[in-house]
Chains A and B, each alone.
Chain A
Amino acid sequence: MSFYDSLIENAPAIIIAIPLLFAFATPLISKLSKVLRNAWAIMGVLFSGALMYVLAWEVFRDGGSVARTYVFGGAEGTSFDVLSNIRITFYVDGMAAFMGLIMATVALGAVIYSLSFVKKYTGQDKYYTLLLLMLAANFGMVFTGDIFNLFVWFEVSSVAICGLVAFRTNRGESFEGAAKYLIYSTIAGLLLLFAIGILYGQYGHLNLEYLSAAIGADGTILIVDKIVLGILITVFALKAGAVPMHMATPDAYSEAPAPITAMMVTASQAGLYAVFRTGWTLYGGNISRAAAELDLIHAVGYVLVILGLLSMFVGVTLALVQKDIKRLMAYHAISQTGYMLLGVGVGLAVYASGDNTDFSLYGRTALAGGIFHIFNHALYKGLLFLTAGAIIYKAGTRDLNKMGGLGRDMKMTALFFIIGALAIAGIPPSNGFASKFLIYESVFHFNPVIGAIAMLVSLLTLASFVKVFYAAFMGPKNSEMKTGEVPRSMLIGMSVLAGMILVFSFLPSLVLSEIVDPAVTALAGPGPEIGTNLTLFSGQGSWNALVLLGVLSIVLILGILIRSWGQKGTVPNGEGKKPYLFGNPTEVNGNPIVVPASNVYWGFVKALQKYYRPMEKMHSGLINEYVFWFVATAGMVMLALAFL
């Protein structure tokens, strides 16, 4: 066996072992020199990420449905039998490799960005230790084929995240965010442990493959199966940050250092991955299933659609009114998670309805759109959180009302922000549009109203990013702010993600057929190709980014030509001197009316105050109430699954 073959065979374990080794060696290396420690941390992410890329390439080459299995404690050549072995296994199929790629990419951008970003803080050795630990936990959550092992990685991820959220010990608020997130994820983790106990008591095994075959094997679904399913879905949806279990998510996201927030997005996607695995693999394992099981999966599909709709709408409407830049983006992260839940939920519901023509017509497209959106979301949301970090780094504040004019000095950051904002709002020809296009068209086929809501949410997303851009980069400069662009390592970190976004934007069909299709195949079996010849086909329409790019560049050339015919320079004392204000200037009690930058949509908010008032009450900041919402949701999901 060649070195390469044995490397690939052991890759699932090595990919996790590298960040663990580098994590716990970091404090020791840190004693020697700071430069060495930084290089060490980057090397840890780079090695494990590179191996992840190689492994993913191997998995995708097989089409994604063949899993690479690694059995812990199994000697070379041991055949693995799920019935007789109680060993921990790692399965890396198309879906797991897809998630691993996302985590490796975002972690690389984040760790390079961190070099300058955390330079002024003490305790950097612990920072890098926890960062690598979090990466290992992320990989572990998606690779594991053992449900108890999943719980362990879940908890490692929570502890590492909470330690990092509380990294800035000078801010008391960071402890509050970390404590809330920790309470939330600990209770979720304990309910998960309880569900695992039930599964073990019923079936005597913890292996996901075995459980998948055992659940509903004799054609009936037991009531304990439904209870476990309800708990699993709610717990992993909490990790993913779906409404109404999202309340601690914005607190933790906004208090964590920016590179950590970017990585937390991928950690929450590991939760999303677990939701999809529960629905598709654990409960929807074999196709030739009894009607009882198909009915159950159908209901799960609808539960995911409802959670997705709630997340999309509540997330975006609350983001619109925020004045803290990172909190605003955190609510957007929740809202975008809704798209993935929606796409995959629609796919699951259509799949379980047993209609194969419907599934190949639009169900598979919805699933592919939802999965493609996971990667896109990790890239643009990661980039946006990094730009938010750059803004906070320079402006010294996270309040949108106190910043302004940063675009003059931070041209690169402004450019990266525009790339990220266009992608999250789904403006063609961005990668966000490519995945949203698949979701819109297929969901519209499933239910026109839901499709319309998905488009409305995109509009509101665009509106709130216009607000951020206007508040942070435009307008007069605040003289108290530091000037100049952010340090180079932060720019490199951002450009890693921005470059990936550009590739994904212009070659979506290539990405879809090479990376997304194996992931879809791993969940739902092989099906028709969605992207060929650089064009995406949704079943209803098609999308080719390069054609639009050509049209846009012709328009741009025409515009430049027209501009060159005009008068050169600006008119002295012309309109350019004064800022343009809408409407007529009005005064109340002798003072001009001032609308702060965070409140530009006050008319919209006032018109919807019947909606916003109860929302404000719901997000009270009381962790008791948050836990109550979580427990109530778990109960409701269980009831829905039991009676549907």
Chain B
Amino acid sequence: MMSEIPYLAVVALIAIGLYIVMFKRNLIKLAMGITLIETGANLFLITLAFRSGDRLSAPVFTSQIMGGSAPAYSLPTPHALTLTSIVIGVATTALLLAFFMKLYQKFRVSTVDEMRRLRG
């Protein structure tokens, strides 16, 4: 049960993020929603790294966690993936916020309803 809590958090983060992006009209909230989805995806990768039992993988370190008898270890690959994904996330979020800032300078746009010059 305890080990499933991170997965529940992943589902909650992604669901809340998608809800915000689909139904909230404020542009800054939109950027926050995207960041939430990103956090959820990163947490998912990190959670996947923790394994127990014998597997044909390269563990970083082994220790007895959560009182189990099988050796528990953490895979290095998901951490590398998460690091990459965080860097990419910073780039996209910064670019998105820059676009929103310029849109506000040009048209005084702060909500999605006003950002619809291109349509049809």
Contacts and interface: CB of A to CB of B under 8 A. Distances in A.
A179 B116 contact: no
Interface in B1-57: 14, 18, 21-25, 30, 34, 37-38, 40-41, 44-45, 48, 55-57
Contact of B118 (A83, A182, A197, A251): A251
B117 A620 contact: no
A347 to B, nearest CB: 33
A623 B115 contact: yes
Given A197-B44, A628-B22, A186 B102 contact: no
A178 B91 CA distance: 14
A628 B33 CA distance: 14
Candidate in A176, A201, A206 with the most chain B CB atoms within 10 angstroms: A176
A196 B23 CA distance: 26
Interface in B78-120: 78, 81, 84-85, 88, 91-92, 95-96, 99-100, 102-103, 106-107, 112-113, 115-120
Q: How large is the interface on A (under 10, 10 to 19, 20 to 34, 35 or more residues)?
A: 35 or more
A255 to B, nearest CB: 7
B99 A206 contact: no
B116 A621 contact: yes
Nearest to A181: B99
A187 interface: yes
Contacts of A173: 117-118
B110 to A, nearest CB: 13
A624 interface: yes
Given A166-B99, A186-B34, A631-B22, A194 B14 contact: yes
A86 B57 CA distance: 10
Contacts, number: 124
Given A152-B84, A186-B34, A200-B77, A158 B92 contact: yes
Nearest to B76: A86
B119 A200 contact: no
A317 B117 CA distance: 21
A303 to B, nearest CB: 22
A190 interface: yes
Contacts of A155: 88, 91-92
B85 A193 contact: yes
Nearest to A318: B120
Interface residues of B, number: 44
A622 B57 CA distance: 46
A177 interface: yes
A162 B95 contact: yes
A152 B83 CA distance: 12
A179 B22 contact: no
A628 B21 CA distance: 8
A621 B111 CA distance: 12
A255 B118 contact: yes
B77 A624 contact: no
A172 B103 contact: yes
A81 interface: no
Nearest to A631: B18
Interface in A419-438: none
Interface in A435-475: none
Contacts of A621: 115-120
Contact of B115 (A158, A176, A254, A619): A176
A190 B119 contact: no
Nearest to A628: B22
B96 A182 contact: yes
A64 to B, nearest CB: 31
Nearest to A154: B88
B60 to A, nearest CB: 13
Contacts of B45: 193, 197, 200
B94 to A, nearest CB: 10
Interface in A152-207: 152, 155, 158-159, 162-163, 166, 169, 172-173, 175-180, 182-183, 186-187, 189-190, 193-194, 196-197, 200-201, 204, 206
Given A175-B99, A186-B92, 11 more contacts: A86-B77, A148-B81, A155-B88, A159-B95, A163-B95, A173-B118, A190-B38, A194-B41, A194-B44, A196-B81, A197-B41
25 contacts: A83-B56, A148-B81, A151-B85, A158-B92, A159-B91, A162-B99, A172-B106, A173-B117, A173-B118, A179-B99, A179-B100, A180-B118, A186-B96, A187-B21, A187-B34, A190-B37, A190-B41, A194-B44, A255-B118, A616-B120, A619-B119, A619-B120, A621-B115, A624-B25, A631-B22
Ordered nearest first, which 7 A-B pairs have the shortest CB separation? A621-B116, A621-B119, A172-B106, A179-B99, A251-B118, A201-B48, A193-B41
Interface of B: 14, 18, 21-25, 30, 34, 37-38, 40-41, 44-45, 48, 55-58, 77-78, 81, 84-85, 88, 91-92, 95-96, 99-100, 102-103, 106-107, 112-113, 115-120
